[in-house]
Each structure stands twice: as C-alpha cells, then as structure tokens.
C-alpha cells in the first residue's frame, strides 16, 4: 500500500473553535515552526462551532465575576467537573473574548450605550452570554477562518484523520495517518506536537444536532491508542430538535431554546400541555428536565404522529414570533413548517458530548506529543455543559493548546519515527470494507441510531444499557462484514460513511458501558433504576480504557481542588443570583 | 492605465455626454420636422464655434467611452488579453476620434 | 442484502426524475435517477438518497444541514442554491430536478467543487480583520445604531456559500474578478469602526479584478440565500473609491 | 442564453445596456462617415438623408434613438447606483429608464411622420 509521507512541527486536527485558535496561537508562540492544519471538511466550514447559536459565556457583565461563572459551571456539572479545568475555562474566557473582539475581529451584539450585551442561559446566575444575534458561531468561525486562511499555515483540507500512530515503544506519538479524501490516498504526517480537536459529536443517536462530519473519530482513535477517556456516559440532549421524518437531514436540527424561554408551549399528541406534570417551571425548566419530560410523554403513547411532541408559538401572535425568531421561522418554512402560526413537531436530540480524553489544564494527555482540546477533551463540564460554555471551552483550550505546543516543541529536537506495524494495521482497518461484498452502510447507521436512542438515550436502566451493548456489538459485527465498492476511492463518501460508522460503533459501546458503571443520576445521565444523585462528597467520574479488545471502566474520585460540595467561593455578601426574575 | 483610471474615464466621459446626448436628441426632434436635408443641417452648424465645441467634445468623450466599453467586452466575451487588448482598444479610440473629428470638421467648417 | 428502498421507488407511482452531473474533474455528463418523493424533502436529501441507495460512488459535500456552513451549494435546475435548505417542492419542474456542481468553480468530482479560488479571493480582497488593539485592551464601546455599524451589519451574516459567486456572470467572464462575497466582506470591514485597514482595503478592491469588474448585474443579490445585498456593498466600495479618487487623485 | 440564474430585472438591465452600447459603437463610425460627406459631397449626404423618408429607415432610426436613450438612462442609473448612496429602488429606476427612453424616442418618431 502506497502511503505518502509528510513532516511538520505542529499538526492540528479540526477547524472548529479549538483547531483554529490553536493554529493562531501556535504561530504566535512558535513563529518559526511549521504549522499544519488538517480537517475532514473545508477549513472553518465544518464542525459545530459554526453552528453555535445562543452565544459565549464570559463574566464581563455587570456584577459578574470569574468566581460566579466558575460556581455556576461546577454546580451545573453536578460537582463532577475537573475544577482546575473549569476555573481556567472561566478565567481565560475573559481574555479570549477580548482577543476575539480586538484581534480576530468579531463583533458581538452591543447595548445601546455601546457596551457588550449579555443574556442569561438557563442555569446561570448572571447575564453572561455574549452573542451575535442567534448566529454567534458564524461570526466567530468566519473571523477565525479568515485569519487562518491569510496566514502561512499549511492547509490540508478534506483530509480525514484515521489513526494516531505512536512510536515503536509506545511512549509518544509519532504522527497521524490520514485519508486524503479527494484522491482516496493515504498520507502519514509526522509532527512534534499534535492537537486533536475533532469535536466529539454524539451523532450515533436517531436524533442529533451536530454537523454531518462529526462522528467521534477523535475519541475512537484515542481509544485505539489506549488513552483514558472520562465521563463517557454524559450525552447532552437538547429538548427541541425538529422532527420531519427519517428521510431528511433536517430531522434533529435544533429549534432554539429561546422559543421556550419566550413562552412557547409544548403540546402532546392530544394537543395538551404536559410539562407542568413533570416540573414546576413547565417549559422553562432546564434542558435535561424538559428532554426527560418529552421522552416520558412519548413513552406514554401521547406522541404526535411523527413520534414526538409539538411546539406551539401561535398564542404569542404569529407576527411577533416571525419577527423575534426570524431565522428559526424561515428555517422551518424552508422545510415546509409554519413555526409562527402552526404547530411544529419536535423531539429531544443529542447535542453535545461532555465526555472525552483525560487531559490536564494545559491540554496535555498521557501520551507525549498528543494534546486534546475542545469537545474531544473531557473534564471541564462534568456531567452537564451549560449553554454558552461549549464555545468558551473550545476557544479557550484551543488557544491554550497552541501556546503550550509552541512552547513544548522548543524542547523536542527531532521528529519521532512511527511504529510501522501500527501504521499498516490502521491502513488495513480502513481498507477492510473494500474487499467485502458491498452492502448498505446507511441502514446499519439507522440501526445503531435506533439502538442508542432506545437503550442508551434520555432515560437509562441497567437492563436497557446491557441490551444496548449487545445491539451495538451486533451492528458492529454486521459492519465488519459489510463492504464498500472500491473501484474509485476519490471522494468516496460511502467509504467514509463506513469509517464514520466504525468510529460511532466503538464509541457507542463505551457510552453504554460507562453508563452502566455510573449508578446514580447526575446532569445528563439519568438512571431510572438509580434516580438519586448519590453522595456528592464521594462523587466519582468514570474512566474508560481499551487494551486490546478489552474495555474497562473504572471510577475515579473527583478531586475538589477549589471548592467542596455545599461550599462556595463567592463572598458571603454576594446574592444567590444577579438575574432579574421574569 | 490602471483599471481604476479606465473606470473613472469611462464614467466621466459618460457624464460629459449625458447633457450632450439630451441636447442632440432635442435638436434632432426639432430639426426633423419637415424632413432632413443637408442644407438644413449645414446651415445651422457651418461656421459655428459653439456647435464645433459641442460636437467636438461629444466626439472626444464618445471615443474614450466606447473604446473603454468595447475593451471590457473584448476582455470578457472574446477572451482578449494584455497588449492585444490594449492595442485594439487604442485603435478603436483612434479610429472613432479620427472619423468623428473629421465629421465635426465637415459639418462645422466654412 | 435487499434494497427495500429501491423497491419502494418502483412501487411509487410518481417518483422524482433527477438528473445528476457526474464528472471526475473535467468533462462529464448528466445521469438519470428515480428518487422516491417524500413530504419534507430537501434537494440535499435527494442527493444523499441516491448515494445511499442507488449509486454509492456519488460525491457531494455538506456539513451543518441547516444553512449555516455554506458547503452544500449546487446548481439546481440552473440556479445556484443551498441544497440543505431548499425544499424539493420549491424547485420541482414538473417532476424533474437537474442537479449540477456550483458554477464558476473547478469541479473535484460530481457535485463537489474546489472552493479554494473563492477563499483565495476573499483574502486577496483584504477580507481579513486588521486589528488596532490587543487582547489586553478593553472591548471597544461601539454604538450599535451608528450608520457605519448598520452598514457593516447588513452584510455580516455571510456564510461564504459561494452562491453569489456562482450566479455572477462577471465572475464567469473575468477569472481575476474577486467576486461579490469577497467584496461584500471587504465592505463590512471598511465600515467596521474597529478595523484599521480602510486604506489597504480600498487599494485591494480598486486593483485589477476589483470592484470595478462588477457590472451591477445583481444576480448575487438575487441569489443570496441569506438575503444579503453584495451588489449594494460593491456599490458602496465604488462610491468610496470615487470619493478618494477625486480627493487625492488616487484610490 | 437566458439561463435561470439570469431571470431577474437587473440582469436584463445589464444586458440591454451592454447590447445597446455595442450597437451604438457599431453605428457610430457609420454615422461619422455619412456626416463627413457634408464637406466634399453634400449632395450625397442629401441622398442618405432622403432615405429617412422610407418607413424601414424610420424604424431603424427609431431603434437607434431608442438604443441611445436606453443606454443613457441605463448609464445614469448605474452611476447613480454606484456613486449616490444606495437606494433600494433599483428595479423601479431600471423600469423608469426604459419607460422614459421609450417616451423620448416615441416623440421623436411621431413628430418625424
Ligand atoms: C446546533 C448547535 C448549537 C450550539 N450552540 C452552542 C451555543 O450557543 N453555545 C455554546 O457554548 N456551545 C454551543 N454548541 C456547542 C459548541 O458548538 C461546541 O461545544 C464547540 O463548538 C466544539 O468546538 P470544537 O472545536 O471542539 O469542535 P467543532 O467545532 O465541532 O470542530 C471539529 C472539527 O474537527 C473536524 N474533524 C472531525 N473528525 C475529523 C477527522 N477524523 N479528521 C480531521 N478532522 C476531523 C471537523 O470537521 C471539524 O472541523 C452548539 C452545538 C451545536 C451542534
Ligand atoms: C453614442 C454614445 C455611446 C456609445 C457608443 C457607448 C458605448 C458603450 C459601450 C460599448 C459600453 C460597454 C458596455 C458594457 O461594458 O457592458 C458602454 C458602457 C457604459 N456606458 Fe456608454 N456609450 C455611449 C453613450 C453613453 C452615455 C451618454 C452614457 C451616460 C450617460 C453612457 C454610460 C455608460 C456607462 C456608465 C457604461 C459602463 C457600464 C458598465 O461598466 O457596466 N454611455 N458604453
Ligand atoms: S453573500 Fe450570500 S450568497 Fe454570497 S457567499 Fe455570502 S451568504 Fe453566500
Ligand atoms: S452578480 Fe456580479 S456583476 Fe456585480 S452586482 Fe453581483 S457581483
Ligand atoms: S449543509 Fe451547511 S449550508 Fe447546507
């Protein structure tokens, strides 16, 4: 098998908020170094950072402090976050937003007096979220993309990373194996430092919000490389994904949170409101609560014809809705639904993955030369990510990674040689379907998505997750015997569908097993057989690790390095919340 | 000449022509009553410095204007480039100037 | 494995008649497919259905599937469109749809184009923020209702989908022309109170291939799925350049 | 020629402006050539001018004036668009340009009869 070989100093995987910031910072911290950025799609035009709607959490609002942001993040994560990471996230978000505004060129919405406008997402005790209308991600990524495109960074577009290749002794990372998607050829790139910022993405669920390119490739690669992954049971569901049928990619995409906040009603199949049966806040409860409410209603056979519930805005006045939620109304109209005046079917949808590679607050991993930032890294959010903390996390830690890698490579004199056996094993793995009888990969994907949705979804039980493990294993076995026509490998999407499925199956199994290992309910993880949150002081997080074909999940105690459950770092005089009650 | 100068020259010549064209059309409408004749036209224009200036500036402006316009079209639609393009455009300009000024001379000289 | 979806097409009395451009780079031809019609179905769904069920070698590009990333644009019945947000009903010509790669860009394969020229021009138009401050400085207070900010806001929600670029005949006939999206970005920066590059922007957009290569055909504005108005932005640049031409004798 | 992405008023305005520009540029040398007979051979100029009595020639003349009028107003519209602060009334302006030019050339034509 012919492989093209290539060398660089700093290699970055992914061009979301984490990848692009890393490229800029790497250039600043090591101006002489060669920086290469490789991505599965086009630079800046894939991944989820671009899809950020609501905004970016930063404690620059009136009366807000880093301490308050930190406490909200810890409480929101139900005491599971790595506190040092959470602290750095909150502290550096302030610098990052100034950098975005002053150096990168973003313009966030202003108040009339010209100061930054902040709003409050659910779970926040201050108006903290800066935004650009409801298209914040487009502003952030377009500006970052321009900066990167204009710099002498080596660009490898439509290059899919398929394997982290260690050195022969396994002590460090040598480089990354790619498929050049346009030609279908293999390419191995050695680098002194590699940032993995491929952005997780729980797209193994029947309903999901992330962009199509995100299929857990990064975590699957890390798993094969033997790296420890934490909080893998933590999948965040957004309560209101559009429901438009199995055959359309519109299904699962987010209808924004603001709709409920503004007073939108959720109605069951019989057109009755039901959320007050589950929570005193009704539709305005937090994401996890509303998702479970909807799921419970669906299970009671109270579903709408498409199998979800309705969101109804018309009582607020169709004109008002059309004006206030222009983008959402237009998006629904494009797919044939009348959000302003009618009812639109919605369903909870997998949105964000809190779990990820175990890293320290400098983005370093257990493997020398490998750094991880953004949604691929675990720890900062614990069991639940607050709205607005996702993009803060990816941009803060992307920048940190760029700084740290730039500094670290100064001490690395030479590139490391790869373990050729691992390299060829990874190529064989990727080529496997090309020698099998072609089948229908997408049908397996539907199967996986059903299995995860049914058994490892919004509400979980031991029995269900065990069933999930078996179903996933069966589908993986089917996949291994399903082939892809390999006459032309250039831009062969079906081959990549197969590879996507392989990543999704591997990580799905870990999600289910980590879910079984957590015998309590925290944040996004809800066990019907263990509905209590358990002892907070004895909080543990799960760590999954693969050796050979064996997956082990262990529990590690949370280190309360900054604050213990029941305590706060806010001064006593500080009020509980700064957000004016509605 | 830079693209910007060409652009400005084309717009400025157009601005110069705008009132001249309107004037010309007005004259035509007036003159055409009762049919055109050489004598009529010449009678009005021959020996008139004013008419010479009027049509003279018209000719200069239109030569510049049309040459730049055709240059753009040759570039975009005929794929003409570089020296050939500029040569042809200059040629068009010179031809229009020569023929136009000769015509002006013909109708205004005594 | 049996292909039950394909069987259902045969049963369906009225499937969509879809012709799709197939090409390995240069040259190519349309290929006909029958695709089952569905209630909520976008053009991207039609393309994906063909790849997943009829011809696994069909190449195309998408990412966000909700009109945010601008990777899925194609020519649909001769019009450039974002396929993930174009309902089939909206474009159906009788029962037919013709789908081709975006115009004015090199084709990589089938429906996927090479967007590099588009982005190279974005950078060449100085469509990149020129900072005057650093991360150590406070965030600038800017009146959101000021006229320059309103002008910048009007063009800022561009998703760089290249639809305007595909619609523009000036782009088609002038390979150097920067195109509507790049110039629109330059205009937003020109009006950005924080941007320090007004001079370099005007120089960049008044050079060969700059805004004067635009003939105000307005196809860009007509086609932009986000209802932006690149034609107006380009006119704004021409106006500023004319102003500084008269003032200083140069742009 | 008129492909789907071109089916909107501003593109038609563009193509009319361009075609009229070409036509005018082609007509111009002819026009100069005829006029230049004024000096050496006035009778031949007269000969040309008599053609204008024929309806066909009148239609051609109408065409020319129409082209000129259309081109001028199209050009003015463009310069207004480019140099005056943007107004959303583009399409109306384009239509008005054609309308007014028709009016002027129409008057010319009627009075010539
Ligand atoms: C619809 C939506 C709305 C959201 N709204 C908000 C919000 O309002 N506020 C908030 O804070 N967060 C929000 N989030 C979450 C936020 O988008 C993420 O937390 C964050 O953007 C992740 O950034 P990232 O850089 O880690 O990954 P991404 O931005 O997802 O980037 C991942 C990159 O890696 C590339 N990649 C993937 N696999 C490979 C591979 N094998 N080889 C090479 N490259 C690869 C991808 O193509 C992509 O370029 C939202 C998410 C979604 C989906
Ligand atoms: C008889 C006289 C004229 C001739 C022969 C003529 C010819 C042309 C030609 C060939 C073009 C190029 C068209 C194109 O690029 O699409 C052009 C463009 C132009 N003309 Fe004229 N023109 C004449 C009079 C005028 C007048 C009087 C005006 C304005 C008041 C005018 C305004 C313009 C403008 C603004 C353009 C630029 C169009 C563009 O760049 O898109 N023209 N002209
Ligand atoms: S201006 Fe409109 S059509 Fe052009 S790239 Fe931007 S969003 Fe797309
Ligand atoms: S279509 Fe093209 S010519 Fe100008 S107005 Fe738009 S860029
Ligand atoms: S897939 Fe992102 S715009 Fe269509």
What are the structural domain ranges in chain B?
A: 2-108
What is the position in ligand 2's atom list of the atom closest to the CA of B69?
12
> How far apart are the C-alpha atoms of D71 and D13, rounded to whole Å?
10
Q: Which residue of C has its CA nearest to B79?
A: C173
CA of D21 to the centre of ligand 2 (A): 5
CA C170 distance to own-chain centroid: 15
In this structure, what CATH number is given to the domain that contains residue C192? 1.10.1060.10
pLDDT digits (tens, 9 = 90+) for B97-108: 999 999 898 888
For residue C1, what pLDDT band results from cuts at 50, 70 and 90?
Answer: very low
> How far apart are the C-alpha atoms of A408 and A195, rounded to whole Å?
12
- Chain C residue numbers with beta carbons less than 8 Å from the beta carbon of D9 are 218
> How far apart are the C-alpha atoms of A142 and A45, rounded to whole Å?
9
For residue C3, what pLDDT band results from cuts at 50, 70 and 90?
Answer: very low
Closest Cα in chain C, distance from residue A46 (Å): 5
Neighbours of D6 (CB within 10 A): 19
Residue A188 burial (C-beta neighbours within 10 Å; 0-12, 13-18, 19+): buried
Report the complex ipTM.
0.94
Domain residues for the domain of C120 are 116-250
Q: The tokens of A153 are what?
A: 């960074």
Which residues have CB under 6 Å of ligand 1? A 13-19, 38-41, 46-49, 51-55, 160-161, 197-199, 209-210, 213-214, 217, 254, 352, 374-375, 387-392, 394
Angstrom distances, CA of residue B99 to CA of B10, C93, C234: 20, 53, 37
DSSP of A150-197, one letter per residue? TS--EEETTEEEEEEEEBTTSSBEEEEEEEETTTTEEEEEE-SEEEE-
What is the position in ligand 3's atom list of the atom closest to the CA of C80?
3
Domain boundary among C113, C135, C167: C113
C-alpha dihedral (D37, D38, D41, D43), degrees to nearest 10: 110
| Helix runs in C66-211, H state only | 88-91, 116-124, 147-156, 163-167, 169-173, 180-190, 198-206
Residues C107 and C120 in one domain: no
Q: The tokens of A4 are what?
A: 């093209």
For residue D88, what pLDDT band results from cuts at 50, 70 and 90?
Answer: low
Q: Which residue has the higher pLDDT, A286 or C221?
A: C221
- Chain D residue numbers with beta carbons less than 8 Å from the beta carbon of C218 are 8-11, 14, 90
CA-wise closest residue to C126 among C221, C209, C228, C250: C209
CA-wise closest residue to C49 among A346, A504, A246, A212: A246
Q: Is A41 on the interface with C (CB under 8 A)?
A: yes
pLDDT digits (tens, 9 = 90+) for C213-230: 999 999 999 999 999 999
Ligand nearest to the CA of C72: 5
Span A184-192, mean pLDDT?
Answer: 98
Phi then psi dihedrals of residue A247, to 5 deg = -85, -5
Is any ligand 4 atom within 6 A of the Cβ of residue C222?
no
Q: The tokens of B97 are what?
A: 């100037």
Per annotation, catalytic residue among A131, A224, A238, A265: A238
- Contacts made by residues B3-8, CB under 8 angstroms, sequence distance 24+: B3/C206, B3/C207, B3/C208, B3/C209, B3/C210, B3/C212, B3/C213, B4/C206, B4/C207, B4/C210, B4/C212, B4/C241, B4/C245, B4/C250, B4/C251, B6/B68, B6/B71, B6/C212, B7/C212, B8/C242, B8/C245
- Chain D residue numbers with beta carbons less than 8 Å from the beta carbon of C79 are 4-5
The percent helix, strand, coil of chain B (3-state, each to 5) is 85, 0, 15
Contact A140, C156 (CB under 8 A): no
pLDDT digits (tens, 9 = 90+) for A528-550: 999 999 999 999 999 999 998 89
pLDDT value of residue A486:
85
Residue A236 burial (C-beta neighbours within 10 Å; 0-12, 13-18, 19+): buried
Helix axes A66-76, A83-99, angle to 10 degrees: 130
In this structure, what CATH number is given to the domain that contains residue C92? 3.10.20.30
When divided into structural domains, chain C yields a total of 2
Q: The tokens of A133 are what?
A: 């209308």
Chains C and B touch, using 3 or more CB pairs below 8 Å: yes
Q: Which residue has the higher pLDDT, B18 or A366?
A: A366
- Chain D residue numbers with beta carbons less than 8 Å from the beta carbon of C215 are 14, 18
> How far apart are the C-alpha atoms of C211 and C205, rounded to whole Å?
6
> How far apart are the C-alpha atoms of A401 and A357, rounded to whole Å?
14
Span A264-277, mean pLDDT?
Answer: 95
pLDDT value of residue B54:
92
> What does the DSSP 8-state code read for residue C50?
I
Residue B98 burial (C-beta neighbours within 10 Å; 0-12, 13-18, 19+): middle
Residues C10 and C69 in one domain: yes
Ligand nearest to the CA of A328: 1
CA-wise closest residue to A216 among A226, A205, A207, A206: A205
Residues C75 and C164 in one domain: no
pLDDT value of residue A430:
98
Is any ligand 2 atom within 6 A of the Cβ of residue D71?
yes
> How far apart are the C-alpha atoms of A85 and A360, rounded to whole Å?
7
Domain boundary among C96, C113, C130: C113
For residue C84, what pLDDT band results from cuts at 50, 70 and 90?
Answer: very high
Q: Fold for domain B2-108?
A: 3 helical TM bundles of succinate and fumarate reductases (1.20.1300)
Residue A295 burial (C-beta neighbours within 10 Å; 0-12, 13-18, 19+): buried
Residues C90 and C169 in one domain: no
Q: Which residue has the higher pLDDT, C26 or A338?
A: A338
Going along chain D from its start, the domains and CATH numbers come out as 14-112 (1.20.1300.10)
Least confident piece of the model among A202-211, A315-324, C1-10, D91-100: C1-10
Neighbours of D111 (CB within 10 A): 12
């Amino acid at each position: 098998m012919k492989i093209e070989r290539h060398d660089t100093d700093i290699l970055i995987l992914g061009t979301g908020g984490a990848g692009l910031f890393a490229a800029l910072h790497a250039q600043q911290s090591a101006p002489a170094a060669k920086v290469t950025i490789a991505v599965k799609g086009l630079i800046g035009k894939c991944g989820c950072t671009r899809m950020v709607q609501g905004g970016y959490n930063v404690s620059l609002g009136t009366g807000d402090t880093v301490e308050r942001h930190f406490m909200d993040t810890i409480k929101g994560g139900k005491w599971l976050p790595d506190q040092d990471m959470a602290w750095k996230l909150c502290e550096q978000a302030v610098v990052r937003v100034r950098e975005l505004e002053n150096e990168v060129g973003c313009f966030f919405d202003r108040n009339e007096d010209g100061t930054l406008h902040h709003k409050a997402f659910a779970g926040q005790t201050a108006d903290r979220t800066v935004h650009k209308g409801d298209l914040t991600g487009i502003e952030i990524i377009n500006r970052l993309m321009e900066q990167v495109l204009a710099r002498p960074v080596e660009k490898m577009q439509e290059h899919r990373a398929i394997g982290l290749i260690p050195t022969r002794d396994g002590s460090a990372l040598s480089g990354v194996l790619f498929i050049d998607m346009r030609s279908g050829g293999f390419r191995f790139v050695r680098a002194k430092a590699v940032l993995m910022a491929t952005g997780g993405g729980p797209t193994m669920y029947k309903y999901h919000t992330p962009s199509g390119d995100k299929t857990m490739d990064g975590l699957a690669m890390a798993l094969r490389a033997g790296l420890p992954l934490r909080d893998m049971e933590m999948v965040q569901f957004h309560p209101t994904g559009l429901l438009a049928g199995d055959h359309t990619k519109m299904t699962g995409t987010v209808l924004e949170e603001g709709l409920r906040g503004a007073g939108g009603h959720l109605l069951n199949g019989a057109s009755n409101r039901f959320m007050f049966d589950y929570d005193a806040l009704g539709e305005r409860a937090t994401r996890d609560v509303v998702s479970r409410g909807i799921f419970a209603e669906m299970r009671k056979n109270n579903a709408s014809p498409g199998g979800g519930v309705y969101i109804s805005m018309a009582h607020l006045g169709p004109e008002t809705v059309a004006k206030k939620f222009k983008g959402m109304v237009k998006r629904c109209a494009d797919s044939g639904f009348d959000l302003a005046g009618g009812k639109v079917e919605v369903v909870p949808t997998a949105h964000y993955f809190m779990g990820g590679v175990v890293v320290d607050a400098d983005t370093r991993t257990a493997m020398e030369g490998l750094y991880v930032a953004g949604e691929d890294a675990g720890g900062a959010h614990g069991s639940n990510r607050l709205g607005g903390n996702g993009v803060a996390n990816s941009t803060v830690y992307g920048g940190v990674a760029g700084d740290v890698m730039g500094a670290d490579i100064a001490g690395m004199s030479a590139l490391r040689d790869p373990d050729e056996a691992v390299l060829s094993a990874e190529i064989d793995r990727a080529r496997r379907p090309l020698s099998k009888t072609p089948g229908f990969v997408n049908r397996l994907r539907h199967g996986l998505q059903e299995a995860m949705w049914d058994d490892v979804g919004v509400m979980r039980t031991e029995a269900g997750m065990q069933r999930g493990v078996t179903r996933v294993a069966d589908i993986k076995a089917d996949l291994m015997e399903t082939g892809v026509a390999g006459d032309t490998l250039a831009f062969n999407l079906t081959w990549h569908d197969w590879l996507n499925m392989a990543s999704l199956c591997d990580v799905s199994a870990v999600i289910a097993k980590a879910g079984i290992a957590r015998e309590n309910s925290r944040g996004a993880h809800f066990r019907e057989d263990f509905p209590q949150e358990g002892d907070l002081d004895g909080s543990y997080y799960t760590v999954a690790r693969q050796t050979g074909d064996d997956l082990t999940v262990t529990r590690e105690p949370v280190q309360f390095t900054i604050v213990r459950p029941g305590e706060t770092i806010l001064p006593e005089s500080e009020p509980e919340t700064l957000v004016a009650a509605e | 000449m830079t693209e910007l100068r060409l652009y400005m020259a084309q717009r400025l010549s157009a601005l110069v022509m705008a009132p001249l064209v309107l004037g010309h059309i007005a004259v035509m409408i007036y003159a055409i009553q009762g049919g055109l004749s050489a004598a009529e036209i010449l009678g009005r224009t021959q020996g008139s410095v004013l008419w010479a200036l009027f049509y003279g500036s018209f000719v200069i402006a239109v030569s510049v204007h049309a040459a730049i316009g055709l240059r753009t079209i040759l570039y975009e639609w005929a794929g003409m480039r570089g020296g050939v393009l500029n040569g042809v455009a200059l040629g068009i300009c010179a031809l229009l100037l020569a023929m136009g000024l000769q015509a002006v001379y013909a109708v205004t000289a005594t | 494995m049996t292909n039950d979806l394909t069987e259902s097409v045969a049963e369906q009395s009225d499937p969509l008649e879809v012709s799709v451009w197939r090409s390995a780079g240069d040259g190519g031809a349309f290929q006909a497919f029958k695709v089952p019609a569905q209630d909520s179905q976008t053009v991207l769904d039609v393309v994906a259905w063909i790849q997943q069920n009829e011809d696994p070698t069909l190449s195309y590009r998408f990412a966000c599937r909700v009109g945010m990333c601008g990777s899925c644009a194609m020519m649909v019945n001769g019009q450039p469109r974002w396929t993930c947000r174009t309902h089939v009903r909206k474009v159906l010509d009788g029962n037919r749809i013709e789908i081709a790669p975006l115009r004015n860009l090199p084709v990589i394969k089938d429906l996927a184009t090479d967007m590099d020229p588009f982005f190279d021009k974005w950078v060449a138009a100085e469509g990149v923020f020129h900072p005057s401050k650093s991360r150590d400085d406070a965030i600038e207070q800017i009146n959101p209702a000021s006229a320059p900010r309103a002008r910048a806001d009007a063009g800022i929600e561009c998703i760089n989908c290249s639809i305007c670029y595909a619609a523009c005949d000036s782009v088609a006939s002038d390979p150097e022309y920067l195109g509507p999206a790049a110039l629109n970005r330059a205009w937003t920066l020109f009006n950005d109170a924080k941007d320090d590059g007004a001079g370099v922007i005007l120089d960049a957009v008044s050079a060969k291939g700059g805004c004067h290569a635009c003939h105000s055909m307005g196809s860009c504005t007509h086609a932009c799925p986000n209802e932006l108005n690149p034609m107006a932005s380009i006119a704004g640049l021409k106006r500023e350049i004319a102003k500084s031409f008269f003032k200083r004798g140069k742009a | 020629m008129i492909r789907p992405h071109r089916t909107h008023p501003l593109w038609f305005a563009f193509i009319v402006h361009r075609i009229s520009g070409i036509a005018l540029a082609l007509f111009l040398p002819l026009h100069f050539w005829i006029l230049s007979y004024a000096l050496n051979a006035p009778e031949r100029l007269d000969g040309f001018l008599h053609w204008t009595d024929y309806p066909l020639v009148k239609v051609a003349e109408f065409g020319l004036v129409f082209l000129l009028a259309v081109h001028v107003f199209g050009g003015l519209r463009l310069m207004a668009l480019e140099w005056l602060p943007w107004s959303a009334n583009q399409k109306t302006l384009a239509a008005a340009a054609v309308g007014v030019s028709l009016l002027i050339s129409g008057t010319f034509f009627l009075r010539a009869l």
